[in-house]
Amino acid sequence: MAFSRRKFIQTGVGSAVAVAASAAGAAVLRNEALPVAGGNMGSDMGGRATPAEPNEPQAANLPPSPQAAGAQGAAHANTYQSPVTWAGAPNVVMAPDRMPEIPADKMTDAQKKAVEEFAAGRATPVFGPFVPLLRSPEVMLRTKAMGDYLRFRSVLPPKVSEYAILITARHWSNEYEWAVHFPIAEKAGVNPDLLGMLAEGRQVKGVYETDQLIYEFCTELLKNKCVSDTTYHWAVLKIGEQGVIDLTALVGYYSMLALVLNMARTPLPAGAKPALPLFPR
């Protein structure tokens, strides 16, 4: 049965060290919690946003994000302009693409076959990180297969998976992933003010319990290269062991894509502009 992080701490599950470390964060959470994986976590498995659980604490005094300031609805997704470029320097044009699209007449037979298989499976030409990955056709196709599961067949609701993708994109300061998944996350029901805090590098706290869990789990995994006992047990109780594996794989998968995109200097999608300020120092 699912129960909240506070209740989890009060039961004595986990080490005393983990309990002490999490006490401050647990203070903002109520005793009730969302169901484990399979229940309503803010959006259904089809990607449609659903009403927030009434027993989950409302986001507490979140200030307006740059994305939301002075805009209404989805329109605000394009209002925030970063003062820095993708490369992290003021007023500097993005570095040239190191691995652009390969002309059809320059492709190997293996690359041509991989392009055809990709288009048949995704109903779209090779794009984004798969453009540089095409230099290794087998890696590209295996990467696609992993992404097909994590994006479209995972046990995680879209609201959870898209939020985790953006946490990962922000960690690696990857503008491409952010540009592609920001509007998808909004559509799935992720609070845009929450994303504004994430984009600015501010610590996320005082929000819906599941949002807090996903943020803490992904952030610990990315920064500490592991997850504390308290956060791990909390995650198992909320999303189940399969959910924990799927979430961990999602963070790893989008970290790999971010590294490929950063290495290749893949340009942003047409019309997109940098949106991630430098991390505060």
- Residues contacting 201, CB < 8 A, separation 6+: 170, 277, 278, 279, 280
The tally of CA atoms less than 13 A away on the side-chain side of residue 39 is 14
The tally of CA atoms less than 13 A away on the side-chain side of residue 8 is 29
Q: Angle at Cα 178 formed by Cα 172 and Cα 182, nearest 5°?
A: 145
Structural domains of the chain in order of their starting residue, each with its CATH number = 5-93+151-264 (1.20.1290)
| pLDDT tens, residue order, the chain (281 aa) | 444 444 444 444 443 333 333 333 333 333 333 334 333 334 333 333 444 444 544 444 444 444 444 433 333 333 333 333 344 444 445 678 999 999 999 999 999 999 999 999 999 999 999 999 999 999 999 999 999 999 999 999 999 999 999 999 999 999 999 999 999 999 999 998 899 999 999 888 767 788 999 999 999 999 999 999 999 999 999 999 999 999 999 999 999 999 999 999 999 999 999 999 888 77
Task: Decide: pTM greater than 0.95.
Answer: no
Largest separation between any pair of C-alpha atoms in the chain: 65
